[in-house]
Structure formats: structure tokens, C-alpha cells
Structure 1
Amino acid sequence: MAGKSGRSINNVPESPIKHMIFSWEGILVVLFILVNIFCKGFSEYYNLENLLRQMPVYLAEVFLMIPMAYILVLGEIDISVGATVCLSATLSCMMCNTGAPFIVVILTALIVGTVCGAVNGFILTQFEELPPMIVTLATQIIFRGIAEIVLGSGGSISASNTDGFRLIGGKVGKIPYILFLVLILAVIFAVILGKSTFGRRVYAIGTNRLTAYYSGIHVKKIRFIIYTVMGTFCGLCALFLVASSYGANTTTGNGFEMDAIAMAVFGGISSTGGKGNLAGGLISAFIIVCLRVGLGQRNVHAQVILLIIGVLLICAVALPNIIENVKRAVKK
């Protein structure tokens, strides 16, 4: 097409393949491959069979990343999730030890988690002037405090009947049930966030809550739902943790909130709200799981692994800014 100036303007759409490769998700896929190559070279025991056997313990935390992504897209944060997992695991073990049917044990964990999430949602929607970090810090102390009162300081509890937990911790061939459940839930929630009206409203709230409210979006309702679902997923996480350890103690769930946030942010979900998708969060979660399994097989100290994950997280946050600065410098 030629304009009045005589210059030709070609409307050439960007190649979908090129866009996919140079997107953050594409970079994460490459990093996932590199991490597996590194782990394979670092540990002689790192293979698919051992990975599938050891990953269920770490996959439980991925349950928390899924709703945490929604909370971050809202531009908020929930740091009470580790304590909610602890309380849910504790009370589900207690219910198990009463001889109750296993379905009641499952419902106990899910209901306790849901109630904790609903408490966060209720406080934050009724007292909107309160910052989510402070509210969830307070409820973190309360929920873990209740667990410590029940267990005693530094106490623990073991499930006396482990048949039900063995069942949910089972496998199809060599693939654990938890892997199927994580993938199914991640796909469902990714579609809801990226393709549904509800998801678009979540992004709108994260971009500008006041504008979303005056646009007719039920901001309080959506925030309450997301925090409540966060609690439900904490109960789900607690069930699979107990299935791997057959018990709980006062340190159960310690640091899980930071792991969930790290997975989401490393996956490209903005902590300031309104940006990101669950696909990147899921890929980053598996990168972190593979790293933990591979490094753990060579008895690398847990704090060193956390240090590596922290460095990756800083790089994930800084890289987009670095790329933008490079682009500006090239244009000049």
C-alpha cells in the first residue's frame, strides 16, 4: 500500500511461531530443557523413573501456585497459605485417627482450608482499606497458632489409618495420581483465567480496581471467591502432603507461600497485577520441581537450593526490564 508520501506500508503480521519462541513461556520451555540436561549431568540418579517417584512431595505445592496466580493478577498477595496447609493437615489427621470414613477426612481438610480462605476473603472485602499482606500475615499467625495449640509446641501427629492416604498417593503405572490432578486443574484454571468472562474481570480488577468497580464488575464477590478457592486448594495440598508423610507437625507448610509466589512470578505473572498467565506459572513450577529433585539427589543443602531458586526469581523479575532497556538503546 502506497501513501501520499510515496512510501510503501506493508502490514506483515508477526509469525506465530516466532512469537511463541520469543515469548516468556517459550524461554521457560528452553530453560526447562536446560535444567533437565543439567540435572542429568549433575546426578547419576536423575532419570524419568526417579523423577516420577520423588516429585509428588514437591507437586503438592503446585496446587497453591494455581490460585496464587489469580491473587497476584488481582495485584494482591496471600502469605497465610502455609499456615492454612498446616492447620488442614493437622485436623485431617485428627479426624483420621477417630476412625471416621476417609471421605470425611478428605472433607475435613477441604472444609478447614476453605473456611480459612473465606476468613481472609471476608476481612479483605469488608475492610478494603487493610492491605492483603498485613491481613494474611495476621491470619498466618492465627492459623498456625491454632495448629500449635492442638499439637502442642513443636508437636506432631501421625495418621493411624493410612489406607486412604495410600490410595490417593497411588500411581497409574509409574505416574502418580497427583501429577494428573495438577495438570487437569492447571488446564481448567488456565482456561478460566485466559478465556472466560470471569478471567477478564480478574485482569480488569488487577489493572485498576476502581475502574473495574465503576464498570459494573462485582469486585468484592470476585476477590472473596478467589481467596476462598485459595483456601480450598490449601486443603487439597494438605491431603497430598499427609499422603506422602502420613502425618503433620507444627512446621508443616513452612515457606509454602513463598514457593507458590516464586513459581507464579517466575512464570511471568506480575506481582503488581493485571499481567501474566497460568501456562508460564505451570512451566516454572516444573522447572523448580526438577531442580529440587536433581539437586536433592546429590544431597545439596536445602538452603542452597532456595538460594538458586531466589536467584532465578530475581532474574525473572529483572529480565523484562533489561530487555526493554536494550530495545530502547538499540532504537537510539
Structure 2
Amino acid sequence: MKRVLITGAAGFLGSHLCDRFIKEGFHVIGMDNLITGDLKNIEHLFKLEHFEFYHHDVSKFVHVAGTLDYILHFASPASPIDYLKIPIQTLKVGSLGTHNLLGLAKAKKARILIASTSEVYGDPLVHPQTEDYYGNVNTIGPRGVYDEAKRFQESITMAYHRFHGLETRIVRIFNTYGPRMRLNDGRVIPAFMGQALRGEDLTVFGDGSQTRSFCYVDDQVEGIYRLLFSDYASPVNIGNPNEISIKDFAEEIIKLTGTDQKIIYKELPKDDPMQRQPNIDLAKKLLGWEPQVQRQEGMKKTFNYFKGLTEEELFRSEHKDFTKHIIK
């Protein structure tokens, strides 16, 4: 049985990856320090023989006993609210954490896939974004702690690939959504969902003309899975190219939820990208992959998930306590 280590396993995307690899017959080792993750996302796996969990910060030395065939590095805050609250930890997991896991992959002779992000493109001057675009990033702005952590991840990963001959893969993830997202984490979809569930007006930053492209989690996981087993070491965009303005998207949410909320406008945060749309030609050619879930279908599934949460679960989703998990 092949063994895979998934970091950030208790997070939104990491937990779905654990599910997929269990389904595919792997022995899954999940690792998370629970700064932004939640054990509830993976508690259904604890009873399984071929799942184990380590509560550990990958910014510290990482040891896993026995063989490892694959490593998927998904440990990192991924939303503005999270990484602005814990900027140092965000930089450390992208730099020290990635270095530790690359070293582990080298020692175990394992293939490693690194989770990068569309944020490496910054506020792009090229649209849609292709993998050969170098980006437009403010290194010292508030979002720089996340953007530069991910850009460094890519650099050190390619250095290990070229210098050590390590088998590496890099996925550039565009906005992904679905069940197990945390409400009020600063990203567009959970923010709108949370406001809709509470009967509040929907907050749009700027004039709402900025665009995003949303990929349902099942499609994202499928793209990541195919990339891991490809023979391609350079970055690959995995996302949905169906672009929509934030204002139009807010109106979609109001229609979906059947509420009568209004849209209110606030000042646009510094360095918030005005356009975000992946060019997925490479993924289509290389992986035979493209999204299958339409936004209307995916949003309905996501909203039904949030509606089905108990009051306690909603509270946990909206009130994550970072402080008790931070190791300074």
C-alpha cells in the first residue's frame, strides 16, 4: 500500500485530499498544527485503519516513521483574515515548512507536490493569467506575507528539483470553494454565505467590478490528483476560467439564498487584485483536466452544507481562535 503525507490535513482543501487518497486506497498520514484547520473536518477518518494524524507544525523539524511515497504540502493560512493575523507564521510555513518537507521528500525518495496559489501573480497586468507570467506583486504590502511565501515555495521547490533531482510538482490554485470552508475567513464565498445566513447585507469592497473565478472543490482535487501523477515539474494552473465580477456574484448569492439583502460597498483593501482568471490550456493538454461542476450547482451544494450546520458548528466556523495554537 502506497503511503502519502498530507500537510494542512485538517484544513478545507487538505481534508478533501485526505478523503480522495483514502478512497484511492492509500495509507494517509495527515499533519496539521490546527492554527486554521479544524479536526472536525477529518474526524470521520479517525476510525479508519489506513489513516493517522499528527498534530505538528511543519515549520519545525518533520519526522515520519517508515516509508513515504508521496507528500502533498498544503499547510498554510489561505485567507486574508488568517494571514494578516498571523503573518510570521504564514511566512514560516511557506519557507521553513517547505524546506523541511523537501528535505523529508529527499530523505524518503518521495515525490512531493507543493500547493502554490494564483496570488503569485499579484494584481496581474496579464489577463487571463498563464503559467509563464511572472506576476505583479508588492513584496512589502500587507498581502506580501502570503504572496511571497508562495513565490519562495516555488523557487525552493524548483531548486530541489534541479539540484537534487527531486520529483516535484507545483499546483497554482485559483479560488476554490465547497463544504468545510470556514465562514468569515475573509474569502468572498464564505463571507457572502455567512452574511446571507445571518440576514445581513452583503459587503462588496471597491465598486464590485473586480473579478474572480471560482472552482468547486471536487474539480480542484481531481486536478491536483492528476498533476501529482503526471511527469511535469513546473507550475500548473488549476482553476475555473469562468470569470464573474464580485458585484454580479453578490447578486447571484442573494438569488440563491432567497433573501432580500442589499449590497453595501466599502473601501477596497490594499493590493487586492482587480482581475483573477486562470488560463488552463496547460492543464487541459497535460492532464486532460477541466472543471466539470458549474458554479450554480457548486454554490447550491456549498450553501446547503452551511445551512445544515448546527448552531455550535456555525459558531466554530465563524470564531476560530488562533492564539492557543501559535508556537512563537
TM (norm. structure 1) is 0.26
Higher Rg of the two aligned structures? 1
More helix as a share of residues: 1
Q: Which has the higher contact order (CA 8 A, sep 6+)?
A: 1
TM (norm. structure 2) is 0.26
